[in-house]
Chains A and B, each alone.
Chain A
């Protein structure tokens, strides 16, 4: 089955530690995205990548980093510089032509203790 996987589903980290969230897709999509969702709020774009080896900052990129070495993978690192990292993180992908139609993974809930 084609889709997007995110792992782990729940993640706990101590304050000051970097943590990397995994996102893999087998939809053959060129574009991938990372969003953050806080309780009762909409999604906010962190980073996006239109093609391998290229990525752009979204609205709230500070304290985060990404890489796009393979078409299938777009990992997100939450660094210690992120002031409020506890949130629900969502990865999505789309074709380059169908940018409005994004397919989301199940999400990773990160809690920083």
Chain B
């Protein structure tokens, strides 16, 4: 399985943008890039996903490098409710048993200062 590398922790101030990086140098051409976040004592929450092009939704933006070996999750204005662990996960396209598993690493712990 292709792996991702994220910083252990990052800090931001409220109402400022946050850029959370993820390296995935061994990504295959058919892997999607998914981002999830998990607040303390809660289940993970889907944030956004993409394949090649940059993506925007109501929660965040996803910027994908041209060679797809890295991506950045962008929170445009951090709030205290955005404090969570953020996970960058590669998910293969196609069928097969292993494609049903989300492999969560340690993720990035985002602290938002008031």
With beta carbons under 8 angstroms apart, the residue of A35, A101, A107 that contacts B41 is A107
Taking residues whose C-beta sits less than 8 angstroms from the other chain, chain B's interface range is 20 to 34
Tell me how far the C-beta of A32 lies from the nearest C-beta in chain B, rounded to whole angstroms: 10
User: Which residues of chain B are near A50, meaning CB under 8 Å?
Assistant: 100
| Mask: chain B, 81-114; 1 = CB below 8 Å from A; 0 = not | 0000001010100000101111111110000000
User: Which residues of chain B are near A43, meaning CB under 8 Å?
Assistant: 44, 102, 104
Task: Judge whether B106 and A42 touch: CB under 8 Å.
Answer: yes
- A110 CA to B19 CA, complexed, in Å: 35
Task: Judge whether A42 and B97 touch: CB under 8 Å.
Answer: no
A56 within 8 A of B: yes
- A90 CA to B45 CA, complexed, in Å: 12
**Which residues of chain A in 91-113 are interfacial with respect to chain B, using CB atoms and an 8 Å cutoff?**
92, 99-107, 109
A59 within 8 A of B: yes
- A6 CA to B42 CA, complexed, in Å: 11
Task: Judge whether A56 and B49 touch: CB under 8 Å.
Answer: no
- A45 CA to B107 CA, complexed, in Å: 17
A75 within 8 A of B: no
Task: Judge whether A104 and B106 touch: CB under 8 Å.
Answer: no
Task: Judge whether A100 and B34 touch: CB under 8 Å.
Answer: yes
A6-B43, A31-B100 given; 12 more Cβ-contact pairs under 8 Å: A42-B87, A42-B106, A43-B102, A48-B100, A48-B101, A50-B100, A99-B100, A100-B91, A100-B102, A102-B102, A103-B46, A109-B41
Instruction: Please report B residues at the A interface, Cβ cutoff 8 Å.
Output: 32, 34, 41-46, 49, 87, 89, 91, 97, 99-107
User: Please, could you name 12 A-B residue pairs with CB atoms under 8 Å apart, sorted by A?
Assistant: A42-B87, A43-B102, A50-B100, A56-B97, A56-B100, A58-B101, A100-B49, A100-B91, A101-B34, A101-B46, A103-B46, A104-B46
